[in-house]
Amino acid sequence: MTDIAPRLGLRGITKRFPGVLANDNVSFEVKPGEIHALLGENGAGKSTLVKMIYGIMQPDAGEMLWNGERVTIASPKAARKLGIGMVFQHFSLFEALTVLENIALGMDANIPQRELEGRIRAVMTQYGLKLEPHRTVSTLSVGERQRIEIVRALLLNPKLLIMDEPTSVLTPQEVEQLFVVLRQLAKEGCSILYISHKLHEIKALCDTATILRAGRLVDTCDPKVETSRSMAEKMIGGNLKTIQKPAGREFGAEKFVVTQLSLPGAGPFGVALHDISFRVRAGEIFGIAGVAGNGQNALQLALSGEQTTSDAQAIRVDGEGVAKLDAKARRLKGIATVPEERNGHAAVPDFTLSDNSVLTGRDRLKLAISGILRPGAAKKYTSEVISSFAVKATGTEATAGSLSGGNLQKYIMGREILQRPDVLIVNQPTWGVDAGAAAAIHQALVDLAAEGSALVVISQDLDELLELCDTLAVINGGRLSRAMQVSGVDINEVGLLMGGIHGGSAPVESAAPGAIGVGATSAA
Amino acid sequence: MLYATPVGAVIVTMIVGALVFSLITPPPQGFSLPPANPPPVDLSTILTSIGSHLWFGLQAVYQVFIAPLVTSYKWGDIAVKASPLILIGVGLAVGNRAAIWNIGAEGQYVVGALAGTGIGLLTQKMTGVWILPSMLVAGLIGGAVWGAIPAALKNWFNVNETLSSLMLTYVAIHLMNHLVTGPWKDPTGFSFPQTPLVTADQTLPILVPGTYVHLGIVITLVIAVIVWFLMSRSLFGFQVRVVGAAPSAARHGGFSQKATVWMVFLLSGALAGLAGIFEVTGPFGQMSLGFPQNYGFTAIIVAFLGRLNPLGVILAGIVLAITYVGGDMAQSVLQLPNASKGIFQAMLLFFLLASDILIRYRVRVVSSAPAPMPNAAVARSPAE
């Protein structure tokens, strides 16, 4: 094997930003047809490194080899010319355009639309990726948007595919499908540089793992030999905390009850909610699993009060109907929420963290009294959030948009949790957050529940729900299945419920548990 | 950068303005230096000609931008012109912060003036200190009512406020034309299309004798400071900023978009209406066909030049007022057309908006015909 030149070789790559050494003398190789994991916490320098490989940035020192030859990758276009494709964690899509138009814009060559559509459909069938080319991106869920990026990259027949956190929004079945695709690609000789925080996935998929910490290469190892824990500890450079969740906890009275909540879908492609019913007791963590785009966002908006319903009793807190109240009034009743999208929904990117604290905390924390803001109080609360949740930011006056995804998520979670809400509803609490930070967020959620709050966790990461929740239900096509005890849950059944409609290859019988689930919820 | 662009835009406007006015051929009277006949074409003649043209361009810029500042008896005029620009500009700055586009301040200005004048006509024969305040309040209400129409249309029927507010301006002007040429025409005014002059009890006190500097100017400055406080330190300002910066986040935070539309239109309409009645009870003394002075439109430039910050709007209002006063001076000194000040004002907005865009985005020359857009993040420079 040694006589074959590596597909990509990095030698002593160094990149400096003002005040930060993002990459310090990083060297490793990716062989042809190899699936190579790149691991590290947020801020470890993974993104910077792949940006240099993809030509978005230039290294300050070091050299890159492509098939054994020294290359300078001046731009993403040059990278694509070499055969490097990339699927970004943050999608670069124009929301007002269709899937097809977005892909056409990303192509270097000018291909007639009809031919391009044919090629897109071919790639989608070949790799089992479901997408409607003529839908407008703004109506698509995060998971569907990601598929556009994957198709876009695959259309270029890459020799090296960089994937930044590709599975964070997929179901177990979809992840398996993606892995089939990636293994197929690798067998065809395409190398894959795979960035992920999900260590068991890396164990299942990757041949080699390179671990970065604080910009330095810590280790290159074989993930099949390592344990998830040993890799995580190399990543964070210390011992990984496991969630301290007392076994056999007792729950209090019913705190948050949703009864036959139905809402029409927003927009032509919005998901309607049908007769959603569930109840969460004090101290209980209730998980809602499901594939992206099955009504999670609609449900989150309905629960937070950003979307109100005509039947006040559809949502009750401590017996009091709140479904007619808006988000502000519901917060005063003790309901705090964290939506999926951080930038522009949970937080205003152009605002400082202090101002973002005012956004949701102004009433409960008295950050505004009789209409006048109290910047000092907002600052104090924000620095409390920053220190308790180890948010990496330049201070309370840093803009939310300047934080990395994981750090912003820690800030947002901290902002809501420290308000000590009676009911906390979170959508995708740890999307794109590294293992260390995710553990911290999970622990904070468990602690909040232990204090008697009722928690609803909506997530597409089933492992997260199984680890975190006491009770679990599955949302599919805007309907919620019956609630199941996590301790006695059948993973296969959950997987089938999740795949109900979207699985495609799933057998017809898979619809049956969904139907039973809907029937059962009305009794709940 | 945020505060450098307005200054830069003013400087670029002066430079380009000088070039544009150099190109006027022939230069108006008194500047045609080359002898008429016979024209001996030699280098020195051409140079002289070019020189005189450039000199004329510089003169034009000097008259419009500098002369009003160095002519102390014009300062009062600047203050009088700046007052309505600032008052309207402050209201528009609030709206633009919320990304709610009120283009119809001119109409709200006219209707505010009409409402106040209506009270004035009813109280022509009366005396008392209450008369002027009630006219001012009527001006506030009139402007707010006219601003409420596009707000209602937007909230109830999803009508684009930019169009509805602009169109309502022309409705307002026709309403005014009808009133001053018909029912409200001064019976003792020799049939001129104008309302009777305001009485002593209907007139804003003059603060500096010998000028038109009136009480309204002080009220304007106080209002600008109050709005600045509201925008930076109150929950109302916070709401306006969130709705403008991230509508979804505003909903998440429990701020109503519709309520914001109402508040913003009522506020900017009321301030424009107040500016209108200040003009009636101050410098104009009556309403006439020539009453609309485009302050409502120029105030859009003022709001942007002032970076949508009420204190910045004060400075920007003064700059634009200088172009008004200087434009008038250039008319008499250089025989420049009245449109020349409009050219300067338009260039100012153009260069301001252009430099804002160029600071955020980098222009790249792209070789191939199809637009390669690998991802938006690449094209967007991190200069901000």
User: Which of B233, B253, B374 shows the shortest C-beta gap to A327?
Assistant: B253
State the pLDDT at residue A36. 94
Min Cα separation B376/chain A (Å):
6
Q: Do B235 and A373 touch (CB under 8 A)?
A: yes
State the pLDDT at residue A239. 67
Contacts of A105 in chain B (CB under 8 A): 371, 373
State the pLDDT at residue A277. 94
Greater pLDDT, A64 or A43:
A64
Do A386 and A418 contact (CB within 8 A), yes or no? no
Contacts of A405 in chain B (CB under 8 A): none
Helices B75-97 & B235-245 angle (0-180, nearest 10): 70
pLDDT greater than 90 at residue A434: no
Phi/psi for B77 (5° steps) reads: -60, -40
d(CA B241, CA B247): 10
DSSP A522: T
Min Cα separation B296/chain A (Å):
29
- Name the residue with tokens 């009433």: A363
d(CA A128, CA A150): 12
Q: Do A351 and B242 touch (CB under 8 A)?
A: yes
State the pLDDT at residue A313. 92
Give residue B32's pLDDT band: very low, low, confident or very high (50, 70, 90).
low
* Entry pTM: 0.75
pLDDT greater than 80 at residue B315: yes
The ipTM estimated for the assembled molecules is: 0.81
Reported as a single tens digit per residue, the pLDDT across B235-294 is 999 999 999 999 999 999 999 999 999 999 999 999 999 999 999 999 999 999 999 989
Any CB–CB contact under 8 A between B263 and chain A? Answer: no
Reported as a single tens digit per residue, the pLDDT across A300-330 is 999 999 988 888 899 999 999 999 999 999 9
Reported as a single tens digit per residue, the pLDDT across B167-218 is 999 999 999 999 999 899 988 888 889 999 999 999 999 998 888 899 999 9
pLDDT greater than 60 at residue B373: no
Phi/psi for A234 (5° steps) reads: -65, -35
State the pLDDT at residue B172. 97
Structure tokens at B246: 């991230």
Contacts of B246 in chain A (CB under 8 A): 344-345, 348-350
pLDDT greater than 80 at residue A9: yes
Q: Which residue of B has its CA nearest to A303?
A: B252
Reported as a single tens digit per residue, the pLDDT across A455-479 is 999 998 787 888 899 999 999 888 9
Percent over 90 (pLDDT), chain A: 41
Question: In this structure, which amino acid lies at residue A244?
Answer: Q
User: Which of A56, A90, A304 shows the shortest C-beta gap to B252?
Assistant: A304
State the pLDDT at residue B210. 85
Min Cα separation B374/chain A (Å):
5
State the pLDDT at residue A320. 93
Any CB–CB contact under 8 A between B72 and chain A? Answer: no
Reported as a single tens digit per residue, the pLDDT across A384-414 is 999 999 898 889 999 998 887 788 999 999 9
Determine the residue among A322, A345, A354 to mutate to test chain B binding: the one whose Cβ has the most chain B Cβ atoms within 10 Å.
A345
Determine the residue among B240, B258, B375 to mutate to test chain A binding: the one whose Cβ has the most chain A Cβ atoms within 10 Å.
B375
d(CA A303, CA A330): 9
pLDDT greater than 70 at residue A34: yes
Reported as a single tens digit per residue, the pLDDT across B86-140 is 999 999 999 999 999 999 999 999 999 999 999 999 999 999 999 999 999 999 9
Determine the residue among B252, B360, B367 to mutate to test chain A binding: the one whose Cβ has the most chain A Cβ atoms within 10 Å.
B252
d(CA A144, CA A297): 13
Q: Which residue of B has its CA nearest to A331?
A: B254
Any CB–CB contact under 8 A between B370 and chain A? Answer: yes
In Å, what is the CA distance from A124 to each residue of A114, A151, A153, A291, B256?
15, 7, 12, 18, 42
State the pLDDT at residue A282. 93
Any CB–CB contact under 8 A between A513 and chain B? Answer: no
Those of residues 37-56 in B touching chain A at CB distance below 8 A are none
Structure tokens at A296: 């999670």
Task: Give SS3 for A500.
Answer: coil
Apex CA B296: angle with CA B294 and CA B300, to 5°? 110
Apex CA B71: angle with CA B65 and CA B73, to 5°? 125
Contacts of A305 in chain B (CB under 8 A): 254
Percent over 70 (pLDDT), chain B: 90
Give residue A22's pLDDT band: very low, low, confident or very high (50, 70, 90).
confident
Reported as a single tens digit per residue, the pLDDT across A71-102 is 999 998 899 889 999 887 777 788 889 999 88
State the pLDDT at residue B150. 97
Apex CA A359: angle with CA A358 and CA A363, to 5°? 65
Any CB–CB contact under 8 A between A112 and chain B? Answer: no
Any CB–CB contact under 8 A between B371 and chain A? Answer: yes
DSSP string across A106-172: H-SS---HHHHHHHHHHHHHHHT----TTSBGGGS-HHHHHHHHHHHHHTT--SEEEEESTTTT--H
In Å, what is the CA distance from A271 to each residue of A296, A297, A343, B376?
9, 9, 22, 28
Mean pLDDT confidence for A219-237: 83
Any CB–CB contact under 8 A between A324 and chain B? Answer: no
Min Cα separation B254/chain A (Å):
4
The domains found in chain A, sorted by start residue, are: 8-236 (3.40.50.300), 241-334+421-524 (3.40.50.300), 341-420 (no CATH)
According to DSSP H, which parts of B234-367 are helical?
235-245, 247-252, 257-279, 295-305, 310-334, 339-360
Structure tokens at A315: 């949502």
Any CB–CB contact under 8 A between B31 and chain A? Answer: no
Mean pLDDT confidence for B301-320: 94
- Nearby residues of A222 by Cβ (< 8 Å), 6 or more positions away: A207, A208, A209
Q: Which residue of A has its CA nearest to B251?
A: A306
State the pLDDT at residue B320. 93
Do B383 and B359 contact (CB within 8 A), yes or no? yes
pLDDT greater than 50 at residue A503: no
In DSSP terms, A210 is beta-bridged to: A38, A220
Mean pLDDT confidence for B150-154: 97
Nearest to A341 by CA among B364, B247, B136: B247
pLDDT greater than 60 at residue A505: no
Average pLDDT, chain A: 84
Those of residues 336-355 in A touching chain B at CB distance below 8 A are 337, 339, 341, 344-351, 355
Q: Which of A383-387, A388-392, B323-327, B360-364 has the lowest mean pLDDT?
A: B360-364
State the pLDDT at residue A511. 36
Q: Do B252 and A105 touch (CB under 8 A)?
A: no
State the pLDDT at residue A504. 38
pLDDT greater than 70 at residue A492: yes
Q: Do A348 and B369 touch (CB under 8 A)?
A: no
Any CB–CB contact under 8 A between B378 and chain A? Answer: yes
Q: Which residue of A has its CA nearest to B242?
A: A348
d(CA A54, CA A171): 28
d(CA A372, CA B230): 8
Contacts of A341 in chain B (CB under 8 A): 248
pLDDT greater than 60 at residue A2: no
Mean pLDDT confidence for A477-502: 78
Q: Do A329 and B254 touch (CB under 8 A)?
A: yes
d(CA B185, CA B193): 6
CB pairs A-B closer than 8 Å: 97
pLDDT greater than 60 at residue A514: no
Structure tokens at A47: 């993104």
Q: Do B253 and A359 touch (CB under 8 A)?
A: yes
State the pLDDT at residue A522. 33
Nearest to B281 by CA among B116, B126, B118: B116
pLDDT greater than 80 at residue A127: no
State the pLDDT at residue B6. 87
Q: Is B42 exposed, middle or buried (0-12, 13-18, 19+ CB in 10 A)?
A: exposed
State the pLDDT at residue A3. 59
pLDDT greater than 60 at residue A506: no
Any CB–CB contact under 8 A between B258 and chain A? Answer: no
DSSP B373: -
d(CA A341, CA A428): 9
Do B104 and B150 contact (CB within 8 A), yes or no? yes
pLDDT greater than 80 at residue A369: yes
In Å, what is the CA distance from B19 to each residue of B11, B15, B157, B159?
13, 7, 48, 42
Q: Do A107 and B372 touch (CB under 8 A)?
A: yes
